[in-house]
């Protein structure tokens, strides 16, 4: 396996497929780099180098007791980019990975970045606060914490329903896809995934988004039951200068698998000069 070791000794696993301009993918919670395989195969076949890592505590990466926060996630991403000496990259982040991309730019700037794509991203802030009244109440995230702590395996199985929109009429979500989500989730560490809930729900990325100085594409499904569009994509598009917003009608949270062709084509169109 391809790995790097971060400054705190955490081993981070990554996939590196194809040749050409680099596209670096950040996955959602509680998944791994495997969540991006359809996009990586497609873009690599069209002349791009596709790199995706397993966030610390997820997938095949180490499961450290510390560093399960957005700042460390962003710094891990920075170390990967620097150790592979990547430049003029396009960052693509889904859900929690979108927050990771935002915090990376907020902490490390756009010197190595040519563009960014936020797909179903948690940015700018998921949690309802006095300054963010359209966010979700803390009880929603407390419920996620309770489910993960009590029976993580069953919770992940149940989560696949709203994640992929399998609970909608005429949904055609396969059991195999739902099983793949469960498998990826169960590869991660309980503590890491538990602490990541706070990171993705309570981190405010507003100031990070204001530092995007590169072309940015925001993609979101208008039937996203996990990260509702109003407090995420619609709000984020107001923080990022000249961002392009694409809304997928009826799209759920797991667009990489439910709207694969549409997402792949949109990514390729964004990457082409």
**Catalytic residue of the set 32, 61, 95, 123:** 95
Tokens 């430049």, residue located: 87
> How far apart are alpha carbons 134 and 137 in whole angstroms?
9
Q: Count Cα atoms within 13 angstroms, Cβ side, for 31.
A: 26
Q: In what order do the strands lie in the sheet with 113-119?
A: 2-5, 11-17, 49-53, 22-26, 89-94, 113-119, 216-221, 244-248
CA distances from 86 to 50, 69, 100 (A): 11, 24, 17
Residue 127: strand, helix, or coil: strand
**Catalytic residue of the set 13, 27, 253, 259:** 253
Known catalytic residue: 27? no
**Catalytic residue of the set 75, 224, 257, 266:** 224
Q: Count Cα atoms within 13 angstroms, Cβ side, for 205.
A: 36
Known catalytic residue: 95? yes
Known catalytic residue: 13? no
Residue positions annotated with a catalytic role: 95, 224, 253
């Amino acid at each position: 396996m391809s790995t790097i070791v971060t400054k705190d000794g955490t081993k981070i696993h990554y996939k590196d497929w194809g040749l050409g301009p680099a596209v670096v993918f950040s996955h959602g919670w509680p998944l791994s780099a495997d969540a991006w395989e359809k996009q990586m195969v497609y873009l690599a076949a069209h002349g791009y180098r596709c790199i995706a890592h397993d966030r610390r505590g997820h997938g095949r990466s180490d499961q450290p007791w510390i560093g399960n926060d957005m700042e460390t996630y962003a710094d891990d991403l920075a170390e990967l980019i620097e150790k592979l000496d990547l430049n003029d990259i396009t960052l693509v982040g889904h859900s929690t990975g979108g927050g990771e991309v935002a915090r990376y730019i907020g902490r490390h700037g756009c010197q190595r970045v040519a563009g960014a794509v936020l797909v179903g991203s948690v940015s700018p802030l998921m949690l309802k606060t006095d300054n963010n009244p359209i966010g979700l109440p803390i009880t929603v995230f407390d419920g996620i914490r309770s489910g993960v702590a009590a029976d993580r395996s069953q919770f992940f199985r149940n989560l696949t329903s709203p994640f992929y929109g399998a609970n909608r009429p005429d949904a055609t979500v396969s059991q195999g896809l739902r099983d793949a989500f469960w498998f990826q989730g169960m590869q991660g560490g309980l503590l890491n995934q538990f602490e990541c809930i706070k990171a993705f729900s309570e981190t405010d990325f507003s100031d990070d988004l204001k530092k995007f100085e590169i072309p940015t594409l925001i993609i979101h499904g208008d039937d996203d039951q996990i990260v509702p569009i109003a407090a995420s994509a619609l709000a984020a598009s107001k923080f990022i200068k000249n961002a392009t917003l694409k809304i997928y009608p009826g799209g759920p949270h797991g667009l990489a698998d439910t709207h694969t062709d549409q997402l792949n084509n949109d990514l390729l169109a964004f990457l082409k000069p």
